[in-house]
Copies of this chain bind each other. A is one copy, B any other.
Amino acid sequence: MTEINLDNLDDFIRGTAILGTGGGGDPYIGSLMLKQELEHCGSIQLIDPEDAPDDMLAVSLACMGAPTVFVEKIPNTKTAIDGMRRSEKEIGRKFNAIIPLEAGGLNATLPLAVAARLGLPVVDGDGMGRAFPEFQMTTFNFSGVRCAPFVMTDDFGNTVLIDTDEAARAEAYGRPVCVKMGGIAQIASYAMTGEEIRRCTVPRTVTLALEIGRTVREARIKGEQNTAEALIDYFETSNPPRFARSLFDGKVEDVVRELSDGWTRGQVTLSNLDGSTMEIPFQNEFSRAILDGRTVTITPDLIMILDRETGEAITTETLRYGQRVRVLGVAAVPIMRTPEALEIIGPRAFGLDEDFSPVESIAWNGE
């Protein structure tokens, strides 16, 4: 049985930041929250989604808001638990497990902190396999899990409960409330039975984060190869193997970033000594990597920007002029590339005027 404990916490946090694909907020905050809880409870038990029993009822917990806000308005487990309790009251049953909504960033950590506090197990999986900016962009949604009751809580004990069958409407109604809550809200939603957990989850993404974090740390200690290459090796030799490619090696030339409608939006421009340029627009997360005018990776495939030396993730709100970076493109798992999935998390769902092409057929590093 895999578990998260104080020994592997740092690897896990490093991995969630990388799976955040630019979004999900500063992992340091999540790391402190989780550390504090683990010092009390020792470890958190993970359950493989395939092993979820029929009588399991899991709640999906997450922070809604702009990662830029999380830096100074820190989420807390009490507010998350308030939302969970309100959802239980609505459903008339107690939750006996917690399932992360996202595999990346703070939203990969917060559910574990709550689970640690309550002594509940965590499903080793999530609804995104990375991070996405909008609530409906999840396998739970396009696999048919009902999102309601969608409960939002603020830090003052106030609750907003949205009852709708459409996750996109919960997003539309919830986002401006989140802005009014100060740019961040705790949400409890997608109550899932064991059957739904087995069928609708991107599996084993908690352990994936753990292994990504470990791979980067070990490569850094050995110093034999650069961390980005070690990560590519890891993905390509994992079971099943996942396509991964280095897309760019250069520095940050420019960042445009604004907070609008409850998201961090903008674009980063990279350049290298060969005169190539890469542009990466983002809405909380990186949505497209364009090398000298040509798309080389596009959502839902994963775009990661890593610090060239340490291999640590650089998130959209910490990007700044002059950073030396490596950019990686990684294939999304099959459940995220079905036609139903692409309608919700494909390029057009982000307002991009382009169809999805898998990274393995368009990735190109300029060489």
Chain A contact residues, CB within 8 Å of chain B: 86, 158-164, 166, 169, 172-173, 176-177, 179-181
Residues of B within 8 A of A169 (CB): 158
Instruction: Check A173–B163 contact: CB distance below 8 A.
Output: no
Count copies of this chain in the complex: 2
Instruction: Check B159–A164 contact: CB distance below 8 A.
Output: yes
Instruction: Check A162–B159 contact: CB distance below 8 A.
Output: yes
Residues of B within 8 A of A163 (CB): 86, 158-161
Provide the bound-state CA to CA distance between A166 and B173, in Å: 20
Residues of B within 8 A of A180 (CB): 172-173, 176
Which listed residue, B86, B164, B181, touches A173 by the CB 8 Å rule?
A: B181
Residues of B within 8 A of A162 (CB): 158-161
Instruction: Check B158–A161 contact: CB distance below 8 A.
Output: no
Provide the bound-state CA to CA distance between A172 and B178, in Å: 11
CB distance from A272 to the nearest CB of B (A): 43
List 19 A-B residue pairs with CB atoms under 8 Å apart, sorted by A's residue number. Answer: A86-B163, A158-B162, A158-B163, A158-B164, A158-B169, A158-B173, A159-B161, A159-B163, A160-B160, A160-B161, A160-B162, A160-B163, A161-B163, A173-B180, A173-B181, A176-B176, A176-B177, A176-B180, A177-B177
Provide the bound-state CA to CA distance between A180 and B161, in Å: 15
When C-beta atoms are compared, the residue in chain B nearest to A149 turns out to be B161
CB distance from A148 to the nearest CB of B (A): 9
Of A159, A173, A181, which is in contact with the most chain B CB atoms at under 10 Å from its CB? A173
Provide the bound-state CA to CA distance between A163 and B166, in Å: 22
CB distance from A358 to the nearest CB of B (A): 34
Residues of B within 8 A of A161 (CB): 159-163
CB distance from A139 to the nearest CB of B (A): 23
